């Protein structure tokens, strides 16, 4: 099969452009579903068990039925068909209220080597804590607002000025030689890559105001898709791409390679 983006819909593999769900699907009409996205390296999923565990938690919290054995089977079916082409760098798993199970391979989205972030006011929904929901219009809008202002990505900040995260990545920063990240108690996502970086580096949780973050020694975003990406600036503040960021990037990349070799 040629290298094209593929989908597995309810157990059947097809080109993603041909995948169809009914217009009456509750996931489409109401955003009532759960989603996980994970990185593929040479056709192999990284941290699949962690992502499926979070999918299971999300489904349970949303009161959404989940057949985890069926998801495992569809992952194996899709990845066997996909192979290792550039269109298969990410795997997205979507479950809808109407019972559809959709898996997609996707290419890596383009991203600069260093990011400029624009702060966007955002109030997280407490009801969706611990749920990786398909209802992501606010995060998508935040990114569009940042891009409209000439930046690469948004930085979500509460109405009271506390920094949260990026729409699809965790923020880490260095201050006085210490690596820190925002606390889960601030209703940020308990992301798989976030957990890896915290375990790898001993980074501590700390609430931080936007003005304080702008004075950090360095900062970076951590995500499933792009691993570690340095932050060049936040609003009008410039930041350095320092030694800590480079060290964490190298250590995380090596950890991923090790886990893939041993998996």
Give the residue from 56, 71, 106 where a domain finishes: 106
Q: What's residue 1's pLDDT?
A: 44
Residue 169 phi/psi, 5-degree rounding, is -155, 155
Residue 87 phi/psi, 5-degree rounding, is -75, -5
| One pLDDT digit (tens) per residue for the chain, 263 residues | 456 899 999 999 999 999 999 999 999 999 999 999 999 999 999 999 999 999 999 999 999 999 999 999 999 999 999 999 889 999 999 999 999 999 999 999 988 899 999 999 999 888 777 789 998 899 999 999 999 999 999 999 999 999 999 999 999 999 989 999 999 999 999 999 999 999 999 999 999 999 999 999 999 999 999 999 999 999 999 998 899 999 999 999 999 999 999 87
Q: What's residue 3's pLDDT?
A: 63
Q: What's residue 193's pLDDT?
A: 97
State whether 37 and 55 are in the same domain: yes
State whether 144 and 230 are in the same domain: yes
Torsion of CA 104, 110, 33, 138, to 10 degrees: -160
State whether 89 and 215 are in the same domain: no
Angle at 153 between CA 150 and CA 154, to 5 degrees: 105
State whether 249 and 200 are in the same domain: yes
User: Is 154 domain-assigned?
Assistant: yes
In this structure, are residues 108 and 85 in contact, taking their beta carbons and an 8 Å threshold? no
The CATH number of the domain holding residue 233 is 3.20.10.10
User: Is 1 domain-assigned?
Assistant: no
The CATH number of the domain holding residue 100 is 3.30.470.10
Other residues' Cβ atoms within 10 Å of the Cβ of residue 56: 15
Q: What is the pTM of this model?
A: 0.92
State whether 34 and 54 are in the same domain: yes
Domain around 173: 115-260
Buried b (16+ CB within 10 A) or exposed e, 175-197: beeebbbbeeeebbbebbbbbbb
**DSSP string for 147-172:** HHTT-SEEEEE-TTSBEEEBTTBEEE
In this structure, are residues 59 and 65 in contact, taking their beta carbons and an 8 Å threshold? yes
Helix axes 48-61, 68-82, angle to 10 degrees: 140
């Amino acid at each position: 099969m040629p290298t094209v983006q593929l989908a597995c819909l309810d157990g059947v593999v097809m080109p993603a452009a041909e995948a169809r769900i009914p217009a009456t699907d509750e996931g489409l009409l109401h955003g009532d579903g759960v989603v996980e996205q994970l990185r593929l390296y040479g056709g192999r999923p990284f941290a699949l068990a962690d992502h499926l565990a979070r999918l299971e938690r999300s489904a349970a919290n949303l009161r959404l039925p989940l057949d985890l054995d069926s998801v495992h089977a569809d992952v194996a079916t899709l990845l066997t068909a996909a192979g290792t082409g550039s269109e298969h760098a990410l795997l997205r798993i979507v479950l809808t209220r109407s019972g559809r199970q959709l898996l997609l391979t996707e290419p890596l989205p383009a991203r600069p080597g260093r990011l400029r972030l624009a702060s966007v006011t955002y109030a997280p929904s407490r009801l969706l804590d611990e749920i990786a929901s398909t209802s992501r219009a606010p995060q998508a809008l935040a990114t569009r607002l940042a891009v409209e202002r000439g930046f690469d990505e948004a930085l979500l900040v509460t109405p009271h000025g506390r920094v949260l995260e990026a729409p699809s990545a965790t923020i880490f920063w260095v201050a006085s030689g210490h690596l820190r990240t925002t606390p889960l108690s601030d209703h940020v996502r308990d992301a798989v890559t976030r957990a890896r970086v915290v375990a790898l580096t001993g980074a501590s949780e700390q609430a931080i105001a936007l003005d304080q973050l702008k004075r950090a020694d360095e900062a970076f975003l951590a995500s499933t898709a792009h691993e570690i990406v340095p932050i060049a600036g936040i609003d009008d503040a410039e930041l350095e791409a320092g030694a800590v960021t480079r060290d964490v990037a190298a250590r995380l990349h090596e950890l991923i390679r090790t886990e893939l070799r041993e998996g």
